[in-house]
Amino acid sequence: MTKPCFLVLLAVMAMTSGCGRIQPWVKPYERERLADKVMAWDRDPIAQSYITHVHENREGAHGGTGEAGGGCGCN
Amino acid sequence: MSFTFSLRRIACMAVAYLAAASALADVLPEERADLSWRTYDGGGLKVEGPAMLVRKNFSDNVSVSAGYQVDQVTGASIDMVVLGASPLHEVRKQKQLGVDYLYGKTTYSVGVESSIENDYDSSNVNAGISQSMFGDLTTITIGVSRGWDIITRVINAAHQKDPNFRKRLDRKTWSLGVSQILTRNLIAGFDYEAITEQGYLQNPYRAIRYLAAPGSTIYLTAPEVFPGTHTSNAAAFRLKYFLPWHASVAGKYRYSFDTWDIRAQTAEADYTQPFFDEALIADLTYRYYRQNSASFYSDLFQFANQQNYMARDRELAAQDNNTVGAAVSYDFLKSKHWIVKKASGSLHYDYIMYKYKDFRDATQRQLPAGTEPLYHYNASVVQAFVSIWF
């Protein structure tokens, strides 16, 4: 086995062996700010869904927004 | 006193934990109803109508959401003006239903959606699974969906359809999302989505234009010809940071590419500031989008049948657009009345400036074909809605 392969294997083993022992570095009681309304990704789904629909019907790029498709209304 | 303090502290910790966990999908979403009216006005078209979205939880494990919206479309876009088509008076109705089932730290979701216009029917089913892990620091979501569209064509102002025109479009979507708490102030997200479509991918009302003869200054029109397949990929990365003065700032970048050689980039920045103990929340948004043109797009072909596939859809043209948005949301009810825990009113306004780099304003027929000014227009999007939590 070549040295780079051995090092990669060692790194993979080291990373996977630690998977079972990952401890949350931000404790539940430290997440008060993350729980604040201003930190919500999608505070108003009905508004976010519509503006995404507006953009996607007038642009060539689609996806990556988490919004479902359906219809056009865009002649 | 120490007992009271302890209870309060535990309660605060519990609320913070549950709220944070809800963002990471191991508790059900809030029970909520939204009633909205929205308008889009730009490029000669006006789209307006109501929308409703309701979410109700049953037990601690099942959440059901239902939505209904109506878009009334009036006016004439530049493509319709060029082709001399009658102004639109169309209605699009969309219905959706979704069910989420929470089991431990896993949420299973299924949904159906239907959109009906007089010349375009779309049906979609979707399923997803979301798993919270590593002490709820990480949530991974995997989703699939399948869509079936039926496209028909209206041939006159009386909305009669062409009996010989009925096309199908099938769509499959795969998505992967990762949400990750990085620090007590910073959260990150990654989204990837692949979409494959097969069938009739063009708009039956659009046309290409080509020179009437070599060296001519006038143009003729002909039907577009699109490929029968399309696959697109989009990857997005986002960050949101809690600012020390109780506000947040977010950034998002998306890159997408497809088999029609469209490469697009989107960058977005958001700032959120609460006032009056979060009774009023204001948002400012800026979004930038750019794309190059599809490989078979041309504003003006040199002659008819110049190539196998030919398109002049402005959605496939090289373009960029800028969006500036502002939103305010005010909680006019903060304590429980009857079954309503809280109620708010919101107003969103977005102003979009579209600029095309190789799509010309073909309505200016007094100018030689190919020398018309590049097309651009601005659009306003207004959304006003009331939300209640129960």
Segment B255-310, tens digit of pLDDT: 999 999 999 999 999 999 999 988 999 999 999 999 999 999 999 999 999 999 99
Return all residues near B64 (Cβ < 8 A) that are at least 6 apart.
B55, B56, B57, B58, B97, B98, B99, B100
Tokens at residue B189, please? 């997200």
Distances (CA, A) of A20 to A7, A16, B21, B110: 22, 8, 21, 30
State the nearest Cα–Cα gap between A6 and chain B, in angstroms: 28
- Report the alpha-carbon distance of residue B234 to residue A64 in Å, rounded: 5
Q: Which residue has the higher pLDDT, A10 or B130?
A: B130
Maximum mean pLDDT: which of B49-58, B127-136, B332-341: B49-58
Q: Which residue has the higher pLDDT, B218 or B2?
A: B218
Ranges A25-29, B89-93, B321-325, B371-375: which has the least confidence: A25-29
Q: Report the candidate in B322, B315, B319, B233 with the shortest Cα–Cα distance to residue B269.
A: B322
Residue B329: strand pairing partners:
B281, B346
Confidence of residue B84 (pLDDT cuts 50, 70, 90): confident
Span B300-327, average pLDDT: 96
Produce one character per residue of B34-71: b if its CB has 16 or more CB atoms within 10 Å, e if not. bebebebebbbbbbebebebbbebeeeeebebebebeb
Count of Cβ atoms closer than 10 Å to residue B359 Cβ: 25
What percent of chain A is modeled with pLDDT above 70? 56
Instruction: State which amino acid sits at residue B348.
Output: H
Nearest CA in chain A to B356: A59
Span B370-376, average pLDDT: 96
Q: What is the pTM of this model?
A: 0.87
ipTM (interface pTM): 0.90
Confidence of residue B80 (pLDDT cuts 50, 70, 90): confident
Mutate to test the interface with A, among B37, B40, B351 (most CBs of A within 10 A): B40
Residue A71, pLDDT above cutoff 50: no
Residue B17, pLDDT above cutoff 60: no
Secondary structure class of A64 (helix, strand, coil):
coil
Confidence of residue B321 (pLDDT cuts 50, 70, 90): very high
Residue B127: strand pairing partners:
B110, B144
Mean of the per-residue pLDDT values for chain B?
91
- Report the alpha-carbon distance of residue B28 to residue B130 in Å, rounded: 12
Return all residues near B326 (Cβ < 8 A) that are at least 6 apart.
B282, B283, B284, B285, B348, B349
**What does the pLDDT read at residue B314?**
93
**What does the pLDDT read at residue A5?**
54
A71 to B34: CB separation less than 8 angstroms, yes or no: no
Task: List, as ranges, residues 18-57 from A with C-beta within 8 Å of B.
Answer: 22-26, 28-41, 43-47, 50-51, 54-55, 57
What percent of chain B is modeled with pLDDT above 70? 93
Ranges B5-9, B109-113, B201-205, B333-337: which has the least confidence: B5-9
Measured between beta carbons, which residues in chain A are less than 8 angstroms from residue B184? Answer: 26, 30-31, 33-34
pLDDT tens by residue, B116-162: 998 999 999 999 999 999 888 999 999 999 999 999 998 887 888 99
Instruction: State which amino acid sits at residue B311.
Output: A
- Report the alpha-carbon distance of residue B203 to residue B207 in Å, rounded: 9
Residue B221, pLDDT above cutoff 60: yes
Span B208-231, average pLDDT: 94
Residues B113 and B148 sit within 8 Å (Cβ to Cβ): no
Dihedral angle of Cα B336, B11, B102, B115, to the nearest 10 degrees:
40
Mutate to test the interface with B, among A21, A27, A31, A55 (most CBs of B within 10 A): A31
Q: Which residue has the higher pLDDT, B331 or A10?
A: B331
**What does the pLDDT read at residue B6?**
40
Span B358-376, average pLDDT: 94
